[in-house]
Structure 1
Amino acid sequence: MQVITHQDFLEEYTMDPAAAPGRIECILKAVEGEVVFEEAFPAGYDDILAVHTKGHVQSVERRRLYNIAALAAGGAVQAAEKGLSEPCFALVRPPGHHASADSSWGFCYFNNMAIALEHLKRNGLIKTAHILDFDMHYGDGTVSILEHKGYVTIHNPDSDDRLIYLDEVARKLASVEVDIIGVSAGFDNHVEDWGRVLLTEDYRTMGRMVLERCRKLGAGCFAVLEGGYNHEVLGQNVLAFLKGLKGD
């Protein structure tokens, strides 16, 4: 399985938890030997402007965060393209699902998932898509950008009971008929992270659910890192998800 990442994601570009030192390193350590790494490259300006207003892009530039945010978006685009033929994971930061067309918050700047799916759609590579966003926080930016476009369905599962949560994911996936499934993969709902709901094994289960549905549909699948802030467990949670997504 291929993982798209870059050395620049190791840098502490801001003081927020998504940029904390060691966050990417703990994931790299956990997945080493299990995946094949490919270097990310920045998203094109046209791809970013297809999702975000020029004013928002300029605001990110003024904060001197354009380069790292464009690199994260580009990694997501690469993962989406590769995901058309095999599961792929974008190990990137900053995260993206709280970025709307003209604003952002929650450690996000550009909406990586939206940029990736819009790239596929504009280039005629897909007609329909589904997003599973299992981050602890509602992906409001993704919803605001994509929900009205008609070709994407978005699911943000929400339950304090892990079994009900997993059943909700399973039922929604069983109902979709799409060309690709994108996962906004936030790991902050783990029992030892902010959300305190899911076990490590639950991420493997959800990865397997996505893979099995895509196999049944003949659809592509990819995932993009969002949240997850306890470095003691984050790497193992990502590894569990990737194992599920590749069928281990």
Structure 2
Amino acid sequence: MKVIFHEDFYQVYTSDPASVEGRMEAVVKVIQPHTEFVTAVPASDEDIAAVHTEHHMDRVRRDGLYDISALAAGGAIQAATAGLTEPCFGLIRPPGHHASSNSCWGFCYFNNMAIALEALRRKNKIQTAYVLDIDLHYGDGNVNILGRKDYVTVHNVEAHRRDDYMDEVTREMEHCHADIIGISAGFDNHEEDWGGLLTTEDYLEIGLRVREAARQCDGGCFAILEGGYNHKVLGHNVLALVRGLSGSGLL
């Protein structure tokens, strides 16, 4: 399976946990032998401006975070575009699901998911989309931007018990009808991460269920990295989701 990545994502661009040294290295070490890496390219100003205000873009520039954030957004566009024909994972940072059109927080600057889906929509590559947010934290930016679009359904999984969580994902995928399914793939709900809820095998199952839903819709699917901060398990959790999306069903 293709993974969108760039070595610039190794850089420590801020002091927040999403940017900490070694985070991306931990993922690459585990997944690279099993995947095909494709180099990310930055999103254009036009792509970003379709989602964010000029004021917000200027603020990100002043903070010295525009280039790395545009690269992450571009990687998301590539992952979504590839996902139309085969499952794809965007190994990108900074994350994006807390970024709204004119504001951001939670280690996010540009909303990668929104930028990617809006790019596909403007190019008439999709008519409908579904966003499954599996991060520990509610993706308010996704909801603020995409929740107002009549072509997108956004669902944040909010169950607090493992079985209920997986049942919620199953129900959502059984009733999903979209040209493309995008996963805001946070891994901080893992049992050895901040949330302490899911197992590595659960991420495999989530990937399998999303893949099957996309197949039933005759559509595509992709995922982009959001949270996940325990380097000892993050790479294995990413690999589990990737293998689920690819249909291998093996860990």
Structure-2-length-normalised TM-score: 0.98
- 1:208 equivalent to 2:220? Answer no
- 1:221 equivalent to 2:205? Answer no
Query: Match for residue 57 of structure 2?
Result: 57
Q: CA-to-partner distance for each residue in 1:88-144, whole Å, 9 max, x for gaps? A: 000000000000000000000000000000000011000000000000000000100
Letter in 1 for 2:200: T
Query: Match for residue 79 of structure 1?
Result: 79
Q: CA-to-partner distance for each residue in 1:183-209, whole Å, 9 max, x for gaps? A: 000000001000011001000000000
Identity of aligned residues (%): 58
Letter in 1 for 2:188: D
- 1:14 equivalent to 2:33? Answer no
Structure 2: distance between partners of 1:72 and 1:183: 15
Structure 2: distance between partners of 1:143 and 1:161: 23
Structure 1: distance between partners of 2:155 and 2:80: 18
Report the more deviating stretch, 152-161 or 64-73: 152-161
Superposed counterparts of 1:129-168, under 5 Å: 129-168=129-168
Letter in 2 for 1:45: D
Q: CA-to-partner distance for each residue in 1:195-233, whole Å, 9 max, x for gaps? A: 011001000000000001111111110110000000011
Letter in 1 for 2:190: H
Letter in 1 for 2:16: D
Superposed counterparts of 1:57-206, under 5 Å: 57-206=57-206
Q: CA-to-partner distance for each residue in 1:8-41, whole Å, 9 max, x for gaps? A: 0000000000000010000001102110000000
Letter in 2 for 1:221: C
Structure 1: distance between partners of 2:79 and 2:191: 28
Q: CA-to-partner distance for each residue in 1:142-178, whole Å, 9 max, x for gaps? A: 1000111110001111122111100001101111111
Letter in 2 for 1:139: G
Structure 2: distance between partners of 1:63 and 1:206: 36
Structure 1: distance between partners of 2:215 and 2:193: 31
Letter in 2 for 1:86: E
Q: CA-to-partner distance for each residue in 1:24-74, whole Å, 9 max, x for gaps? A: 000001102110000000001000000000000000000000000000000
Letter in 2 for 1:132: L
Structure 2: distance between partners of 1:32 and 1:57: 33
**Runs of 5+ in structure 1 lacking a partner?**
none
SS in 1 for 2:143: helix
Query: Aligned-residue CA RMSD in angstroms?
Result: 0.5
SS in 2 for 1:51: coil
Query: Match for residue 231 of structure 1?
Result: 231
Letter in 1 for 2:100: S
**Runs of 5+ in structure 2 lacking a partner?**
none
SS in 1 for 2:188: coil
Structure 2: distance between partners of 1:57 and 1:235: 31
